[in-house]
């Protein structure tokens, strides 16, 4: 079987297509024939050894996949060979077959493509945890979403609307604003590209304040970081929640006097650790996501697919912050 692997620390250009021994499920395991693997920002970081987890090399990036069950090990119940599934892996998805934990499999509904299935769990799982458990979002509140046209950004727009919030989507281009609007955003704003000097940072803060209104944003969803963070925080509401999701623009430093002045909370969002520490609560969130998907209130937006051989190009596009919606590598 083929796999696109990282043998040395570096960017997507260092990935190599290799042949590996075929897989068979051992006791308590299933083997999934991968059809589609979604690309997420952790895939950019993990091959550069900048992610929280550093797998032993060689390894394949790719944390979420969809495919069909190829073989089932002793002791596994409830699954059959040929079942269409979604699987969460952490890494290893850019491979024709993977060993998966049956407890981390989800059935891919009929009528949904493998590309859609591979694009659901990580972005929406992160976001539903962020908005409900960390942001305590309520109907009628204002939600400001940075990077609102990316995978987690569009998930935040959709889930924010599903939970009854007014959603203000902040993006870097007209094309991305249109994508956020089509996902349900009530308002959009287009910000300039960082880095910002002091005057530009102040101007962006005023832009955020104007967009969210005089009461401020009750919840700010920030998967961007960098020079965008402080201006966004300046637009927060009294006792608002600032959700720290990711840092593709760099790790920001926030002036803590702002948290005192607004009596607000800066809340970290680490969905993987939450899912591991509280699997029952995470499972309840996943069930809610499938219900919202069935009801048409959320829908993974796969905007570009890549051939297996071009998996590195998908990661490069993610690294360049050029993605709108989800990028998916077609493996099988």
Q: Say which CATH number the domain at 29 has.
A: 3.90.180.10
Task: List pLDDT tens digits, range 196-222.
Answer: 999 999 999 999 999 999 999 999 999
Confidence of residue 23 (pLDDT cuts 50, 70, 90): very high
The answer to whether position 284 is within a domain reads no
Q: Which of 92, 88, 72 is nearest to 80 (CA)?
A: 72
Locus of tokens 């623009």? 249
Arithmetic mean of pLDDT over the chain: 96
What's the confidence (pLDDT) of residue 332?
86
Task: List pLDDT tens digits, range 114-139.
Answer: 999 999 999 999 999 999 999 999 99
Q: 324: domain range?
A: 2-120+301-330
The answer to whether residues 177 and 197 belong to one domain is yes
Residues above pLDDT 90, as percent of the chain: 95
CB 23 within 8 A of CB 56: no
On the question of pLDDT at 34 being above 90, the answer is yes
Task: List pLDDT tens digits, range 61-84.
Answer: 999 999 999 999 999 999 999 999
β-strand pairing of 265-268 with 302-307:
unpaired
How far is 196 from 224, CA to CA, in rounded Å?
14
Q: Which of 176, 143, 200 is nearest to 325 (CA)?
A: 176
Specify the DSSP element, H or E, that contains 282: helix 279-294
The answer to whether residues 102 and 180 belong to one domain is no
Confidence of residue 53 (pLDDT cuts 50, 70, 90): confident
**Mean pLDDT within 15-26:** 94
On the question of pLDDT at 266 being above 90, the answer is yes
What's the confidence (pLDDT) of residue 51?
87
The answer to whether residues 144 and 213 belong to one domain is yes
Q: What is the dihedral of CA 210, 182, 220, 319, to 10 degrees?
A: -110
CB 215 within 8 A of CB 100: no
State residue 108 phi and psi, 5-degree precision.
-85, 115
Locus of tokens 């950019």? 44
The answer to whether residues 176 and 112 belong to one domain is no
The answer to whether residues 225 and 250 belong to one domain is yes
The answer to whether position 281 is within a domain reads no
What's the confidence (pLDDT) of residue 322?
81
On the question of pLDDT at 52 being above 90, the answer is no
Q: E strands, 80-160, where?
A: 84-88, 97-100, 105-107, 142-145
What's the confidence (pLDDT) of residue 224?
96
CB 19 within 8 A of CB 113: no
The answer to whether position 177 is within a domain reads yes
The answer to whether position 287 is within a domain reads no
């Amino acid at each position: 079987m083929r796999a696109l692997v990282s043998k040395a620390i570096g960017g997507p250009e260092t990935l190599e297509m290799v042949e590996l021994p075929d897989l068979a499920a051992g006791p308590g395991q299933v083997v999934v024939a991968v059809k589609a693997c979604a690309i997420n920002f952790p895939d950019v970081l993990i091959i550069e050894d900048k992610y929280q987890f550093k797998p032993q090399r060689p390894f394949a990036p790719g944390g979420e996949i969809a495919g069909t069950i190829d073989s089932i090990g002793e002791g596994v119940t409830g699954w059959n060979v040929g079942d269409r599934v979604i699987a969460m892996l952490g890494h290893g998805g850019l491979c024709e077959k993977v060993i998966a934990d049956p407890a981390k499999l989800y059935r891919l509904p009929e009528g949904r493509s493998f590309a859609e299935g591979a694009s659901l769990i990580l972005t929406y799982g992160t976001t539903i945890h962020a908005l409900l458990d960390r942001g305590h979002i309520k109907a009628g509140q204002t939600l400001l979403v940075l990077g609102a046209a990316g995978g987690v950004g569009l998930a935040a727009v959709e889930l924010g609307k599903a939970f009854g919030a007014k959603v203000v989507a902040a993006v870097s281009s007209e094309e991305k604003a249109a994508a956020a609007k089509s996902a349900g955003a009530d308002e959009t704003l287009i910000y300039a590209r960082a880095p910002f000097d002091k005057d530009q940072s102040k101007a962006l803060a005023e832009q955020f304040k104007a967009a969210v209104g005089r009461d401020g944003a009750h919840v700010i969803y920030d998967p961007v970081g960098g020079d965008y963070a402080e201006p966004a925080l300046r637009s927060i509401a009294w006792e608002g929640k600032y959700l720290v999701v990711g840092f593709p623009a760099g790790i920001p430093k926030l002036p803590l006097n702002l948290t005192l002045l607004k009596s607000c909370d800066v809340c970290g969002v680490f969905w993987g650790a939450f899912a591991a520490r509280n699997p029952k609560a995470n499972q309840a969130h996943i069930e809610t996501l499938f219900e919202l998907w069935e009801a048409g209130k959320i829908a993974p937006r796969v905007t570009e697919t890549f051939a297996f051989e071009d998996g590195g190009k998908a990661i490069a596009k993610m690294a360049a912050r050029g993605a709108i919606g989800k990028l998916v590598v077609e493996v099988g």
